[in-house]
Structure 1
Amino acid sequence: MKKSRGIAILAAVLIILAGLAYSASIILSSTGKGENHNIKLGLDLAGGVSITYQVMDDNPTDEEMSDTVYKLQKRIESYSTEAQVYKQGDDRITVEIPGVTDANEILEELGTPGSLEFRDPDGNVCLTGDDVETAKAVAQTNKMGSTEYVVDLKFNEEGTKKFSDLTSAHVGEVCPIVYDEQTISMPRVNEAITGGSAQISGMSSYEEAETLASNIRIGSLSLTLQELQSEVVGAQLGSEAISTALQAAAIGLIFVAVFMIAYYWIAGVAATIALGVYSTLVVAIIYLFDVTLTLPGIAGIILSIGMAVDANVIIFARIREEIASGKTVRTSIETGFKKALSAILDGNITTLIAAAVLGIKGSGTVKGFAYTLAIGIILSMFTALIVTRFLVRALYAVGFKDAKFYGKSKERKVISFVSKRHVFYIISLAIIAAGFIGMGVNKANGKGALNLSLEFVGGTSTTADFGKNYTLSEIDSEIVPKIQEVVGSGEIQTQKIQNSTQIVFKTRNLDLDEREALNQTLADNFGVDEKTISSNTISSTISSEMTSDAVWAVVIATICMLIYIWFRFNDIRFATSAILALVHDVLVVLTCYSLLRISVGSTFIACMLTIIGYSINDTIVVFDRIRETLKNARTQDEATLKEIADKSINQTISRSINTSLTTFVMVFLLWLLGVTSIRDFALPLMVGIVSGTYSSICIATNLWFSFHKLGSKKAKKK
């Protein structure tokens, strides 16, 4: 590359970065303030619309209520993956949708939930709303060139077969669609429809098509619901959570930039510019794709920032090694990027597989986490493999050609980690055992194995009119301590109702005496009129079905990662060791939750998912070096494998520590500056980062060696 071209590339990248930074500053400055150019925030960060429905059926069973809650949750995910649905009392259901300020608009779009049936001409029910996957209004141009309004239907697997049977048997006949015993459409079957999708035509306007589509979307519920009340509620964490998260991110990025430049010199400058491009691109993509950002989403971004740094660290470590071997700087740069490619791709693809499965199979906060993580992974690979590469080449072209600008790979004494593997196994087993023992002791004392939050166990919701507009910080410092005197020191969630002096408090389940005591406390200390106080028992916002979705998503993602690693490394021992190291890290973090009694809520799921993504990526880097060294090994006896394992760990240990340090600092700042709920999320995440680094260095590779040794012994016996 010529010097003039190098200058042009540097200038172009800096101009693009300046433009992206300006755009990101506009987006971030308006986020949380309700302006046009802002990122959509979840209930925990910005609040939204709360709609309470009354069940019209007599004596609904728990099973019917649970089924309706889950199906309603799946329906409203079209508005936001972070929407919450939970049971209130015995016959009410509350829906909370973030990022919305007009309750009437949502009610109009959502429609009134009821029962939907597709019938044959004789009135027999052939399909229900359960069989419909999606329904949306579409304006299209017909063969005559005029606009017509239709509803596009897509059925699930079972619905596809039922609809095929219905249309095949009644070609030319009218098959009514009935909603709450009222016929809402009389479509004529023109032909047998077997492909799983169909169109309902004949609507006079787009609004009529949208109303029909809305009724079909919401018509699979087990119970009939009627709107009882709707209101706009404030954020659960408040604007302070946004500002502290941004402060932590800004300080963290500055630290990362200083560290990278100090450690990797001119290559660190390239990485810092690329990281700037990455960070501003993340903001732009989240805004453009209308992703709802919540606390779990922030976790996905933090993890992807760590992985963006990690890719650069892998590349620069390789460049240093090539320079140390006597190659020219130019050759070392090209070879370094080439040799780092497999580790970067394998590490990021395994995490991307997990994100994809979680996005498809998960629900609620799991989807939000998966989306932000996937965006971050794709952008991190782009900036590391494309932007950083162009920058390093350009810097070389403008004059940074001396090896002194890239640093030297220092010769270190090889530490034998393999010979100490049994010590590491014992340490890990002791920590994990402590966690299970702690859970057993807690359960025996009636506290519960884990400190489950209201999101998992439900509780009591109390609404009171204070006649004064309190800020969230005032609520936390003045009102919450008085409530704790009645309900104890357990979790208390607070939420303001917009344009009102009413505040909602969610606590553990209170009996009648405790409710009366709480009412009296609010009246005595804050002058609240007891007539304005209402309380209801609420179910968990994370239903058993949602938990099951999350668990299955993680299981499927783990299996997919195992298969990918097995395929890429052509050795089941690599895959098994990586997954066991991943399980190790999850159990270590679970120990943290158990012993420190940290509240287990939606952020718990996000934390565990973050650790899974981080752990697998860290391990893959070490395994990639083992795979590379094995190709050149003449023999694969026990002594050789031990030497290869130790050498690979030592060659990648600086990368593991550097990446973990930068990621740890990002999370530590979030813990240091954040509000209480963010700290409860950041603390176990820090434990997971340390555990992930430890397992990659001390557990995963040692397991791989142990499996090899065990296989050799079995082969000798035969």
Structure 2
Amino acid sequence: MTSALSAFGNSLHDGTRTLPFVRRRRTFYLISIIVLLVLGTIGALRGPSLGIEFTGGSEFQISGVQDADQTIARDVVRERVPTNEPKITVLGQDTLRVQTEQLDSAQTNALAQELASGYGVDTSAVSTSFVGPVWSGDITQKMLRGVVVFLVLVALTMALYFRNLKASLAAMLALLHDMVFTIAVYLVVGFEITPATVIGFLTILGYSLYDTIVVFDKVRENTEGLLDQERLTFAEQVERAANQTLVRSINTSVVALLPVGSILAIGAFVLGAGTLKDISLALFVGMIAGTYSSILLAPGILVDLRRGEPLIAAHARRVLAARDGRDPEPEPVVHETTDDDADAPDSAELDDDEPEDEAPTPAESTAHRTGAPRTRTQPRRTPRRRRNAPRRGQP
């Protein structure tokens, strides 16, 4: 099994086998659009589940409970505050977290006592905290500002590194796909969006860009001296780079997904820890999306952005013409008039100014036949200067 995978990877790297990542790019575009539309529609209908850090409210944490039944906390909150729908999370084996809308001090103290009584613990085992709407709004603004600054700096860095703005744009579009996909899955699953989720999203940005940069760096290596050969077009060189980095991308993703998947399983089904679930789900989904986009989307986007460049388009025509065994269509040549051309007279003017050759005299003909010296009866003429010939002293 290992030898077969190794042989498969070697065949992709040396070009004996090529998967049509770029040739079938429109199919991958369509698949991505359909998936995003379906997930986005379902997620929009469900709505986001924002954590207390973004909405503001009161939080109660009950420790040392014998029975972590969420129904007890829900009934207590509804009885005390009928209009409030609590969010209850089991943390570990004996701890619950209850989040409600904003309550005043009297309501908070009364609810803490009733929760302690309902779960049979001391009042000191119930800790309370409050997050105001001003603080949560400030956190949201800082988060969005940080993401925007990060994206701008990364886009500029990539444009300078690859010396091509279109490569940076292609990477940003692939990254946008990863973010939208991860957020849509988060909305569909119904997990709460917390600061840990934001940390997971930011980690996805770095991972997805790293994977895409590896592919684009191979593209840059393959396309060096592209115009000096007529064997592969730009699109084929990009596809070759995607094939050469496929095995590496899969290996990196598998190694990264195994521990993240373990954290997700433990956090969701064993410990029930909200923070572990929030960050691990974002990482797990984002890594899968990043691997998909870096191989199947980013190379195709780069080809579509650069295929219309004059040099790349002309080179593609030459390559296809060479394969067909025909000469490529000649490029139009524009003759630039030089100073010598402007100063040089036309051939007609030269013919008008110079006398025509006269027939030799009998004496000249006889001298030529006998080998005697030929007597010149006409003055020696200056040799005619060929048109467009460089003047003496000029290169």
Instruction: Give me the TM-score of the superposition, normalised by structure 1.
Output: 0.36
Matches within 5 A, 1:91-110: none
Q: Distance in 2 between matches of 1:424 and 1:560?
A: 28
Matching residue of 1:195: none
- Check if 1:484 corresponds to 2:74: yes
TM-superposition CA deviations, 1:601-631 (whole Å, max 9, x none): 0111111111100001000111111111111
Shift of 1:583: 1.2
- Check if 1:655 corresponds to 2:259: no
- Check if 1:591 corresponds to 2:181: no
RMSD: 4.0
Letter in 2 for 1:429: I
Q: Please identify, of 706-715 and 416-425, the stretch whose mean Cα deviation from structure 2 is larger.
A: 706-715
From 227, 231, 234, give the equivalent of 1:641.
234
Letter in 2 for 1:669: S
Query: What fraction of aligned residue pairs are identical, expressed as a percent?
Result: 24
Q: Distance in 2 between matches of 1:458 and 1:435?
A: 28
Matching residue of 1:432: 36
Matches within 5 A, 1:22-37: none
Determine if contact 2:264/2:280 at 8 Å carries over to the other structure: yes
TM-superposition CA deviations, 1:670-694 (whole Å, max 9, x none): 1223332213321231111110000
Matching residue of 1:614: 207
From 51, 54, 65, give the equivalent of 1:456.
54
Q: Distance in 1 between matches of 2:39 and 2:204?
A: 17
Letter in 1 for 2:153: C
Larger Rg: 2
Q: Label 1:463 to 1:426 Cα distance change in 2 as closer, same or farther (>3 A).
A: closer
Matching residue of 1:298: none
Matches within 5 A, 1:226-237: none
- Check if 1:508 corresponds to 2:100: yes
Q: Distance in 1 between matches of 2:312 and 2:17?
A: 34
Shift of 1:509: 1.1
Shift of 1:598: 1.1
Q: Label 1:412 to 1:670 Cα distance change in 2 as closer, same or farther (>3 A).
A: farther
Determine if contact 1:638/1:709 at 8 Å carries over to the other structure: no
Determine if contact 1:598/1:680 at 8 Å carries over to the other structure: yes
Shift of 1:556: 1.7
SS of match in other structure, 1:702: helix
TM-superposition CA deviations, 1:490-515 (whole Å, max 9, x none): 244879xxxxxxx9954121779997
Q: Distance in 2 between matches of 1:543 and 1:700?
A: 36
Letter in 2 for 1:605: V
Q: Distance in 2 between matches of 1:613 and 1:701?
A: 18
Shift of 1:411: 6.5
Matching residue of 2:45: 441
TM-superposition CA deviations, 1:344-373 (whole Å, max 9, x none): xxxxxxxxxxxxxxxxxxxxxxxxxxxxxx
Count of residues in Structure 1 that have an aligned counterpart in Structure 2 = 294
Determine if contact 2:36/2:181 at 8 Å carries over to the other structure: yes
Q: Distance in 1 between matches of 2:127 and 2:217?
A: 60
Q: Distance in 2 between matches of 1:713 and 1:410?
A: 27
Determine if contact 2:166/2:306 at 8 Å carries over to the other structure: yes
TM-superposition CA deviations, 1:164-200 (whole Å, max 9, x none): xxxxxxxxxxxxxxxxxxxxxxxxxxxxxxxxxxxxx
- Check if 1:709 corresponds to 2:307: yes
Which ranges of structure 1 fall in alignment gaps of 5 or more residues? Answer: 1-261, 264-315, 325-407, 443-448, 465-469, 496-502
Shift of 1:431: 2.3
Letter in 1 for 2:26: H
Q: Distance in 1 between matches of 2:74 and 2:229?
A: 64
Q: Label 1:505 to 1:589 Cα distance change in 2 as closer, same or farther (>3 A).
A: closer
Shift of 1:697: 0.4
Q: Label 1:411 to 1:419 Cα distance change in 2 as closer, same or farther (>3 A).
A: closer
TM-superposition CA deviations, 1:189-247 (whole Å, max 9, x none): xxxxxxxxxxxxxxxxxxxxxxxxxxxxxxxxxxxxxxxxxxxxxxxxxxxxxxxxxxx
Matches within 5 A, 1:257-276: none
Q: Distance in 2 between matches of 1:617 and 1:527?
A: 50
Q: Label 1:525 to 1:584 Cα distance change in 2 as closer, same or farther (>3 A).
A: closer
Matching residue of 1:74: none
From 282, 287, 290, give the equivalent of 1:689.
287
- Check if 1:605 corresponds to 2:198: yes
Matching residue of 1:577: 170
Q: Distance in 1 between matches of 2:17 and 2:156?
A: 35
TM-superposition CA deviations, 1:524-573 (whole Å, max 9, x none): 552767x9989775426963223222222221221122112111211111
Letter in 1 for 2:235: K
Determine if contact 2:260/2:283 at 8 Å carries over to the other structure: yes
- Check if 1:523 corresponds to 2:107: no
Q: Label 1:537 to 1:493 Cα distance change in 2 as closer, same or farther (>3 A).
A: farther
Determine if contact 2:53/2:131 at 8 Å carries over to the other structure: no
Q: Distance in 1 between matches of 2:127 and 2:218?
A: 63
Shift of 1:706: 0.6
Q: Distance in 2 between matches of 1:557 and 1:598?
A: 25
Which ranges of structure 2 fall in alignment gaps of 5 or more residues? Answer: 78-84, 315-395
Greater RCO (CA < 8 Å, at least 6 residues apart): 2
Q: Distance in 1 between matches of 2:245 and 2:210?
A: 13
SS of match in other structure, 1:450: coil
Q: Distance in 2 between matches of 1:550 and 1:429?
A: 27
Q: Label 1:643 to 1:604 Cα distance change in 2 as closer, same or farther (>3 A).
A: same
Q: Label 1:535 to 1:437 Cα distance change in 2 as closer, same or farther (>3 A).
A: same
Letter in 1 for 2:31: I
SS of match in other structure, 1:604: helix
SS of match in other structure, 1:461: strand
Letter in 2 for 1:666: P
Q: Distance in 2 between matches of 1:673 and 1:455?
A: 24
Matches within 5 A, 1:366-385: none
Determine if contact 1:509/1:537 at 8 Å carries over to the other structure: no
Letter in 1 for 2:99: T
Q: Distance in 2 between matches of 1:654 and 1:709?
A: 26
Shift of 1:577: 0.4
Letter in 2 for 1:441: L
Letter in 1 for 2:258: V
Letter in 1 for 2:72: K
Q: Label 1:459 to 1:615 Cα distance change in 2 as closer, same or farther (>3 A).
A: same
Determine if contact 2:73/2:118 at 8 Å carries over to the other structure: no
Q: Distance in 1 between matches of 2:31 and 2:215?
A: 21
Determine if contact 1:453/1:491 at 8 Å carries over to the other structure: no
More strand by proportion, 1 or 2?
A: 1
Letter in 1 for 2:38: A
Shift of 1:711: 4.4
SS of match in other structure, 2:187: helix
Matches within 5 A, 1:391-430: 413-430=17-34
Determine if contact 1:486/1:514 at 8 Å carries over to the other structure: no
Letter in 1 for 2:166: R
Matching residue of 2:262: 669
Shift of 1:647: 0.7
Q: Distance in 2 between matches of 1:638 and 1:454?
A: 60
Matches within 5 A, 1:277-296: none
Determine if contact 2:260/2:280 at 8 Å carries over to the other structure: yes
Q: Label 1:428 to 1:489 Cα distance change in 2 as closer, same or farther (>3 A).
A: farther
TM-superposition CA deviations, 1:57-115 (whole Å, max 9, x none): xxxxxxxxxxxxxxxxxxxxxxxxxxxxxxxxxxxxxxxxxxxxxxxxxxxxxxxxxxx
